[in-house]
């Protein structure tokens, strides 16, 4: 084998070793999404499952995420809050919106708007 061929072989081996050292495992997803995006889409198009059914499914999702120590995705709590409100549970809706605001501070303007609409008439009555 010529000297040039040996150098090329050595260079190729060094490149392979370098690239192998850079390889790493794929990171797990940041959030546990599962069926949430599709569920939210269907709800917004008004042909999703009834609110109580969706609430049950989302609460099961929460338990699954907790058992796996996984984070809920952005908007999850906000969406569940809207479903809770549509089912007549304004207190739980408020709690979920406050949790969403805490988990994702960038959602604060929207969450504040929802909270203001939820509290609006009550605050007006108190000040009158």
Summarize pLDDT for 72-88 with one digit per residue, the tens.
Answer: 999 999 999 999 999 99
Residue 46 lies in a domain: yes
Distance CA 117, CA 112 (A): 9
Query: CB–CB of 72/62 below 8 Å?
Result: yes
Note down the domain range covering 123: 36-127
In this structure, what token pair is assigned to residue 94?
A: 């408020």
**Smallest Cα–Cα separation from 55: which of 34, 33, 85?**
85
Residue 5 lies in a domain: no
In this structure, the dihedral spanned by the alpha carbons of residues 92, 93, 97 and 100, taken in order and rounded to 10 degrees, is 70
Residue 119 lies in a domain: yes
Amino acid 124: pLDDT:
42
Confidence band of 12 (pLDDT split at 50, 70, 90)? low
Residue 1 lies in a domain: no
Residue 54 lies in a domain: yes
Give pTM, 2 decimals.
0.72
Residue 45 lies in a domain: yes
**Smallest Cα–Cα separation from 51: which of 42, 61, 63?**
42
The total of structural domains in the chain comes to 1
Range 42-56 average pLDDT: 84
Residue 60 lies in a domain: yes
């Amino acid at each position: 084998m010529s000297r040039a061929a040996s150098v090329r072989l050595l260079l190729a081996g060094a490149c392979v070793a370098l690239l192998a050292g850079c390889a790493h495992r794929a990171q797990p997803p940041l959030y546990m999404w599962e069926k949430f995006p599709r569920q939210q889409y269907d709800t917004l198009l008004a042909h999703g499952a009834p609110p109580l059914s969706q609430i049950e499914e989302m609460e099961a999702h929460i338990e699954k995420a907790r058992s796996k120590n996984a984070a809920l995705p952005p908007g999850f709590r906000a969406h569940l809050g809207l479903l809770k409100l549509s089912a007549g549970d304004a207190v739980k809706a408020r709690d979920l919106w406050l949790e969403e605001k805490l988990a994702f501070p960038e959602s604060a303007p929207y969450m504040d708007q929802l909270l203001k609409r939820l509290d609006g008439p009550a605050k007006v009555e108190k000040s009158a």
